[in-house]
């Protein structure tokens, strides 16, 4: 079970492209870089709150733009910005290096699913645009589930979409320790931390193994199977 953003798809690249397109559509041609930096910080904090149940996804989608515009004194419509941004995301998909290769390899020997806290319709459109759809057996989103990673109920929901599913034969692969790996720990399933920046793990989450490249995953899984 793969996380989607910043694991298979380069969300940071897509996010910037979509944000710039949105601001241009609203008539803003200047100050976009500074605006985007603040938007990212606000967005990240709102997603953390969403994952703890403190805010809803519908609130998050608009509030990140409202708060950004307010900080910069811009009289722009956050509802319009949210709609434009979400419509743009599926058209700005960028694959992480090795994503297609690893999905094809794993789909040939098992079932590949996507587990994401993203917006259901948008994530499905982005997967379709990515060219990975033929490798994917199911897509579990927090919006459809009603619970977000790292909540165990989300992983139970995702596991019920797989046919068949056995914890000892499954693994969760993702870039976030606090959502993907911690969720795997709580659910009692192996995990692989995708850590291209080779960051130190100072969290309570404990991955079964970690990789810096998606191309390391298949060899690592073979080694794990032989251990």
Catalytic residues: 3
Tokens 């090795």 belong to: 98
Q: CA distances (Å), 193 to each of 19, 164, 199, 212, in order?
A: 28, 24, 11, 9
What residues form DSSP beta bridges with 194?
211
What does the alpha-carbon distance between residue 185 and residue 189 come to, in Å, rounded to a whole number?
A: 6
Beta bridge partners of 140: 115
Question: Beta-strand (E) ranges in 78-169?
Answer: 113-116, 138-141
Copy the structure tokens of residue 215. 């191309």
**Helix or strand (DSSP H, E) at 173:** strand 171-174
């Amino acid at each position: 079970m793969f996380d989607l953003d910043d694991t298979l798809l380069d969300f940071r690249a897509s996010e910037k492209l979509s944000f710039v397109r949105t601001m241009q559509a609203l008539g803003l041609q200047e100050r976009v870089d500074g605006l985007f930096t603040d938007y990212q910080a606000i967005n990240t904090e709102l997603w953390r709150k969403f994952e703890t149940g403190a805010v809803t996804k519908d609130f998050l989608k608009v509030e990140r733009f409202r708060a950004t515009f307010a900080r910069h004194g811009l009289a722009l419509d956050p509802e319009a910005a949210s709609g434009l941004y979400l419509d743009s995301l599926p058209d700005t998909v960028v694959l992480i290096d090795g994503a297609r290769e690893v999905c094809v390899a794993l789909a040939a020997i098992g079932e590949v699913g996507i587990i994401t806290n993203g917006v259901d319709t948008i994530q499905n459109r982005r997967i379709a645009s990515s060219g990975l759809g033929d490798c994917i057996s199911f897509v579990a989103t927090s919006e459809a589930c009603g619970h977000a990673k790292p909540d165990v109920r989300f992983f139970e929901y995702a596991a019920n979409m797989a046919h068949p599913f056995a914890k000892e034969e499954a693994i969760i692969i993702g870039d976030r320790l606090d959502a993907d790996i911690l969720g795997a720990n709580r659910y009692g399933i192996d995990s692989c931390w995708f850590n291209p920046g080779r960051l130190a793990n100072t969290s309570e989450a404990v991955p079964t193994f970690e990789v810096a490249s998606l191309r390391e995953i298949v060899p690592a899984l073979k080694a794990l199977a032989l251990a």
